Amino acid sequence: MLKDITLGQYLPGTSPVHKLDPRVKLVLTVEFIVMLFCAKNMWAIGVGALFCIISFALSGVPASLMVKSLKPIVPLVLITSVLNLFFVRTGDVLWKWKVLQITTEGRDTALFMIARIVLLIIGSSLLTYTTSPIDLTDAIENLLSPLKKLKVPVHELAMMMTIALRFIPTLIEETDKIMNAQKARGSELDTGSFADKVRGMVPIFIPLFVSSFRRAEELATAMECRCYHGGEGRTRMKQLHTTYRDLIAAIYTTLFFGGIIALNVLIK
Amino acid sequence: MSIIKTEGLTYVYGEKTPFRKVALDNVSIEINEGEMIGLIGHTGSGKSTLIQHFNGLLKPTSGKVLVDGEDFFADKKKLREVRFKVGLVFQYPEYQLFEETVEKDIAYGPKNMGLDEDEIKRRVNEAAELVGLTKEQLLKSPFELSGGQKRRAAIAGVMAMEPKALILDEPASGLDPQGRDRIFDMLKKYHTEKRNTVIVVSHSMEDIAKFADRILVMNEGKVFCFDEPPKVFGRSREIEQIGLAVPQVTRVINKLCEMGYDLGDDVYTVGYAEKQILKKLNKVQI
Amino acid sequence: MQYFLDAENVNFSYMNDAEEPPVRTEVLKNVSLRVEKGEFLAVLGHNGSGKSTLAKCFNAINLPDSGTVTVAGLRTDDENNLLPIRRTAGMVFQNPDNQIVATIVEEDVAFALENLGVEPKEIRRRVDEALKTVGMYEYRMHAPHKLSGGQKQRVAIAGILAMNPDCILLDEPTAMLDPRGRKEVMDTVKRLNREQGVTIVLITHYMEEAAQADRIAIIDGGEVLMDGTPKSIFSQVETMKHLGLDVPQVTELAWRLRKDGFDIPADIITEEECVQAIAALLEKGR
């Protein structure tokens, strides 16, 4: 059933990681990603891994979820490792068959790349596990607000994102309803062949579009009735606050960054 | 003969999750051919879950659903046949309209049944007449119709499949009194002309009481009662307790009964209330 | 004397593109309607009678082609009055899903105040107050799409209430709700009117809801046909039926008994009055 799809992967909680200012969390996640790309050797990557493990432990997000978040990137990891394995030609040859060969350096590069991608995903999923989509939207709007001076419609984009988040569950439910209604009229959505199923999509999408336009129109009127007139002069009920926690988090992340740079220099 | 029969039907949402909820709990009912049934219950009573079992949109967690005496879940091929035998009109069915013209939209179901052109044409015209749509309206885009017309066009789309049982979930919700009367008059006409089973789901006892042969009251996934209207309204106090609204006139007569005027405990229409009061008054005057 | 809501000789029309060639459809024809501060007005009429259009004139969503509309002395055709008017006369719509903007209940209630640039601390205070008034405070952190219809409508009312409006316009707020949700919304609306003196304009199809108002206006074909107290309106049973509108069941029962030649008041609109009157009748006969 479509209804079972959950949006995002936010896991409500009260851990120190949850309590961080979403803006700080976003910035630190970006810092972590930069950190990974700065790491030049396996030791430095090891420091990144340590950072991930400690942060995850602090957040209270179960390790099983961490593994689950990696599932979608398995093909990417496989392709990268295969490419690196066979196409890096420098270093001692470990194995050779016709034109294909694997070298020590190829092996090391492949492992290095895998480790980097895996950590990248784990780090960014920690952000989405511990920050609600709405907080994330607020953080993005807030961080990008200087761009308003360059005429970037930051508020409008954030508003669009909020409304999308609000209406996705409603539209999923609606799709479910329309699908059932057309099935009741004998459309072969669950009984027919693949081609039948594709043909069966038209009677779903047209009503869905029609109703979405109607919803959009009604919502626009309702927003106008509640004095909406763009982002100008708008205040927010929830103010984002940075606390000592955020400072600690920033220092903690930067220490790891320093560690990586140090290892880059020390181990050549 | 029974058209729809359930035996110990149980349905559980979200089995093995923290959101586990028993939506239907051991429901055993039998609905006969040609009956006009009213199905009542408040939101979450299991009435919508129940009707979705009747045409195989939901599969029982345990128990059986028999349509025309056949357990269609046993044979996957039968699933589609069942959808043609039991027509289901959802709440706000106008939102399922999608074709360029009303005519084509009504023809969608019959076309899916694999009928030939002439037969489809006949059925479309017949269904349009039953719901009171004109020839010009058939050629319009469904999105040009008024709210009530759209609703009737969508119902015609299911009627045109000529199901042995027609189920409608809240067919009058959101309409004005005139639109509501029009829908119920149309259903009465359909029932008298076609003699097919009709099941109407509603929150409103008032609407249902006027035409149902039997009323099925659902509460918390169980059958609360399934009987003829006078007998169901005989339990009007219990029905109010489970959170359903009984007609105003029933409440008035109940209060008068409590005050010691015996006007019967099965009054549910204004006409019947009038008759009971007149009987009492005339008897007294003589 | 200056009326609180004042529509004078309002005409409103729109171009109907669905027709070929496009025709101008007149929705409101020379409508005058006044509402006093603190009054509870119910507006009855068919779908398409123009009642929603009129309501939208009162908060400057619709601007009349001719005639004037003033809200608390402010003319709706003055661009500078837009925000003050919408803050004075808030509007709640039929479909609860299509008027909730945010993903968390309290954020949605805060929406209007954020738009008005109110101080964060003040927003917090007024949001909590509004949620408590409609009885949705415990649900402040919930996602709106998981609430029942009645709860969603109460959140929508709280979103308007947070602006501290003098008036709330409700456009068929109960049309899509079950009886339980309808009662929740009606209880909230009545309480706001009685306890906080909020002026209410309620558009509805339910006669029982209209019977609870101070005054009823009936709109048909873009004109105000009748305007008066519920008793004076509903006692004209034949006119109401002729217009295709219902009267409460108790009013109809009394009307029928009168026609049968019994001495019973024509202006019965509540259950209690009906019980008393019939009891008196039966007592006299005894």
What mean pLDDT is reported for chain B? 90
Please give the Cα distance from C68 to C32 (Å, whole number). 9
Whether the per-residue pLDDT at B242 is higher than 50: the answer is: yes
The answer to whether residue A37 is domain-embedded is: yes
The model's confidence at residue A265, banded by pLDDT at 50, 70 and 90, is: confident
Token pair in block for residue B61: 């967690």
Same domain, A32 and A84: yes
Same domain, B78 and B16: yes
Residue A80 lies in a domain: yes
Residues in chain B with CB shorter than 8 Å from the CB of A184 are: 55, 57, 83, 87-90, 158
The second-level CATH assignment, the architecture, of C37-63+80-230 is 3-Layer(aba) Sandwich (3.40)
Q: Are residues A127 and A20 in the same domain?
A: yes
**Residue ranges making up the domain that contains A26:** 15-133+241-266
Per-residue confidence band for B283, with pLDDT thresholds at 50, 70 and 90: low
In this predicted structure, the answer to whether residue A192 has a pLDDT above a threshold of 80 is no
- B-chain CB neighbours of C285 within 8 Å are 280-281, 284-285
The pLDDT of residue B139 is 94
Same domain, B146 and B116: yes
* Tokens 């409603």 -> residue: A170
pLDDT (tens digit per residue) in C106-157: 999 999 999 999 999 999 999 999 999 999 999 998 888 889 999 999 999 9
Cα within 13 Å of Cα(B119), Cβ side: 11
Q: How far apart are CA A35 and CA A102, in angstroms?
A: 29
B124 lies in the same domain as B203: yes
For range B206-230, the mean pLDDT: 91
Is C162's pLDDT higher than 50?
Answer: yes
Does B205 lie in the same domain as B174?
Answer: yes
Decide the pairing of beta strands B36-40 and B197-202: parallel
Same domain (yes/no): B196, B260: no
Q: Is A162 within 8 Å of chain B by CB?
A: no
Interface B-C: count of C-beta contacts within 8 A:
95
What ipTM is given for this predicted complex? 0.90
Closest Cα in chain A to C128: A237
- Compute the mean pLDDT over every residue in chain A, rounded to the nearest whole number: 86
B275 shares a domain with B145: no
Is the same domain home to A43 and A77? yes
The answer to whether position A61 is within a domain reads yes
The percent of residues above 90 in pLDDT, for chain B, comes to 61
H-assigned helices in C102-162: 105-115, 120-133, 149-161
| pLDDT of the residue at A242 | 87
The percentage of residues in chain A with a pLDDT greater than 70, rounded to a whole number, is 95
* Rg of chain B, C-alpha, whole Å: 21
How many domains, in total, are found in chain A? 2
Q: In this predicted structure, what is the pLDDT of residue A6?
A: 46
End-to-end CA distance of chain C: 53
Residues B251 and B138 in one domain: no
B98 DSSP 8-state letter: -
**A18-48 pLDDT tens trace:** 999 999 999 999 999 999 988 888 888 999 9
> Does A199 touch chain B if contact means CB atoms closer than 8 Å?
no
Q: Is A71 within a domain? A: yes
Q: Dump pLDDT digits (tens) for C224-283.
A: 999 999 999 999 999 999 988 889 999 999 999 999 888 899 889 999 999 999 999 888
Taking the C-alpha atoms of residue C42 and residue C216, their distance in angstroms, rounded to an integer, is 5
**DSSP state letter for A6:** P
C42-78 burial, b at 16+ Cβ within 10 Å, e below that, comes to bbbbbbbbbbbbbbbbbbbbbebeebebbbbebebee
Quote the minimal CA–CA distance from A238 to chain C in Å.
7
Residues A214 and A253 in one domain: no
Identify whether the C-beta of residue B183 lies closer than 8 Å to the C-beta of residue B151: yes
Domain boundaries, chain C: 37-63+80-230
Confidence of residue B286 (pLDDT cuts 50, 70, 90): very low
Domain coverage including residue B281:
247-286
Q: What confidence score (pLDDT) does residue B246 get? A: 86
Residue bearing the bigger pLDDT, B252 or B284: B252
- How many domains is chain B partitioned into structurally? 2
pLDDT confidence tier of residue B111, bands split at 50, 70 and 90: very high
Count of beta carbons in the 10 Å neighbourhood of residue C38:
16
Q: What is the pLDDT of residue B284?
A: 56
Do B60 and B193 lie in a common domain? yes
Q: Is the pLDDT of residue A65 over 50?
A: yes
Q: Are residues A115 and A158 in the same domain?
A: no
DSSP B44-76: TSSHHHHHHHHTTSS--SEEEEEETTB-GGG-T
* Domain assignment of residue A150, yes or no: yes
Q: Is residue A9 part of a domain?
A: no
> C281, C257 in Cβ contact below 8 A?
yes
Task: Indicate whether B177 pLDDT > 90.
Answer: no
Report the CATH number at residue B123. 3.40.50.300
